[in-house]
Amino acid sequence: MVEQFLQETEQETRPTSQDRKYLRLSRDGKVFHITEAEAMEEELLTGAHRRLSDEDILVDEWNCRVEEANQLKERISFVHLMIRHDDRRPSQYEPAYNTLWNQYRNAIGSLRELDSEAVSQFRDKVAARVKELEARLNNLSDTWDPDYFDYFERTLACYEKNCDLMTALQARVLDQVWALGHKG
């Protein structure tokens, strides 16, 4: 079931340029529809040819890798939600969950290769969010009110996901430090 969902969401998250339609006015005054892919192809063929700079290529590569990491993070969130809501056998989702986290760690590693500073800044933001959620959870525990159990549960789930995210961001750093230490 999880694998089927992952395949479906992968297909849904791919850009579907065939879905969007544009109107085209021909020289003889007729109007017809073309797809986004056709419009982009015509733009490339008729537009001014420009050479992509190294910076443009790097930005495109960065954006592509970030999009891949974000898609993995969304899938992880969905599987995490399935684990939380399955009262009978939540452990059945663990292999998919762990596999997605490994893929996410690899995606973060590839981002770190392009720009380690941006990844470190993101890790610091996640760490701050984890501390904030931890303080909120402690406050909710100290002033326990059964009426706020749903809020507590949502906060706890968010805390768990952010802790896993922080671990994924930090694990790559530790792997790289270890590898550098053993090269010499």
Query: Using an 8 Å Cβ cutoff, are 112 and 172 in contact?
Result: yes
Tell me the pLDDT band of 178, cut-offs 50, 70 and 90: very low
Q: Which one-letter DSSP state was computed for residue 137?
A: H
Write out pLDDT tens, residues 4-52: 665 665 555 544 444 667 777 677 777 777 787 777 777 766 665 566 6
Q: How many CA atoms within 13 Å lie on the side-chain side of 155? A: 18
Q: Encoding tokens for residue 64? A: 């592509």
What pLDDT, on the 0 to 100 scale, is given for residue 147? 80
Spatial separation of the C-alpha atoms in residues 132 and 140, rounded to whole Å: 12
Give Cβ neighbours of residue 164 (< 8 Å, ≥ 6 apart): 76, 101
Q: What is the mean pLDDT of residues 49-60?
A: 74
- Selection from 46, 23, 22, 15 nearest residue 36 by Cα: 22
**Sequence-separated (6 or more) residues with CB below 8 Å from residue 32:** 23, 24, 26
Note the pLDDT of residue 184. Answer: 44
pLDDT tens profile 161-176: 787 777 777 755 445 5
Tokens representing residue 184 in the block:
């010499």
Residue 181 has pLDDT above 80, yes or no: no
DSSP classification of residue 27: T
Write out pLDDT tens, residues 101-155: 889 888 888 888 888 888 888 888 888 888 888 888 888 778 887 887 888 888 8
Three-class SS state of 108: helix
